[in-house]
Amino acid sequence: EAGVAQSPRYKIIEKRQSVAFWCNPISGHATLYWYQQILGQGPKLLIQFQNNGVVDDSQLPKDRFSAERLKGVDSTLKIQPAKLEDSAVYLCASSLESAANYGYTFGSGTRLTVV
Amino acid sequence: AQSVTQLGSHVSVSEGALVLLRCNYSSSVPPYLFWYVQYPNQGLQLLLKYTSAATLVKGINGFEAEFKKSETSFHLTKPSAHMSDAAEYFCAVSEGTGFQKLVFGTGTRLLVSP
């Protein structure tokens, strides 16, 4: 079974620029999550999709972050404009269903550095 | 809201020694609890999970954890550390009804010396 694919692996941008991350979940997984992991901290949920609908985006800074999951498969996370404090690893995870006992599979993440 | 507290941002052990990583949770309902491991420049890998079956849960790589409701704890242990166990370990609790999500602790970095 192929894992969760993310790209790019690394990205360096200047503040106020825009950036986009891509995630391809495991085939058939209905639930997709984007987490932000700042250095020295645990991952924090940004947004959760069930198929192509958003079920939780309460911690997404909507003035600069946006995400979509077209056709309930791939997802993109965008930041525009980026700030220095957005430097972090952005992790995508997917799950068969949203119930926690199914377990989540994480991708390798995209490390963003904003200079 | 659910939360987990991981005591100790760093734990150092010698190879062959017991590994004990602490996690306490706060939850108003019986929780699902998880331990994940993260190696450098990689994503999170599930070590084990507690989903209200047996209180002693065995995971991969020789790790196990015991759910203790009276202590609201879910500590991770391994009898004998290997050099390859050096990594960051995260405890997580499920939150929500219907659409659930994971809430993570701040992590504990395990250092293993020869």
Residue to mutate among A35, A50, A59, with most B CBs inside 10 A, is A35
Residue B61 near chain A (CB below 8 Å): no
Helix, strand or coil, per DSSP, at residue B73: strand
Q: A88-95 and A105-106: which strand pairing?
A: antiparallel
- The closest CB to that of A100, out of B32, B43, B90, belongs to B32
Residue A38 near chain B (CB below 8 Å): no
Which residue(s) pair with B2 in the sheet?
A: none
pLDDT in tens, A14-50: 999 999 999 999 998 989 999 999 998 899 999 999 9
Helix ranges (H only) for chain B are none
Largest Cα–Cα distance of chain A, in whole Å?
40
The confidence score (pLDDT) of residue A101 equals 66
Quick one: tokens of A49? 């999709």
Residue B56 CA to its chain's centroid (Å) = 13
- In contact, B92 and B36? CB cutoff 8 Å: yes
Q: Count other Cβ atoms within 10 Å, centred on residue B54.
A: 10
Size of interface A-B (CB pairs under 8 A): 66
pLDDT in tens, A51-103: 889 999 999 999 999 999 988 899 999 999 999 999 999 999 998 876 666 67
Q: Verify whether the Cβ–Cβ distance B42 to A42 is below 8 Å.
A: no
**Could you list the mean pLDDT of each consecutive 10-residue stretch along chain B, which spans 114 residues?**
89 97 85 90 89 87 94 96 96 80 93 96
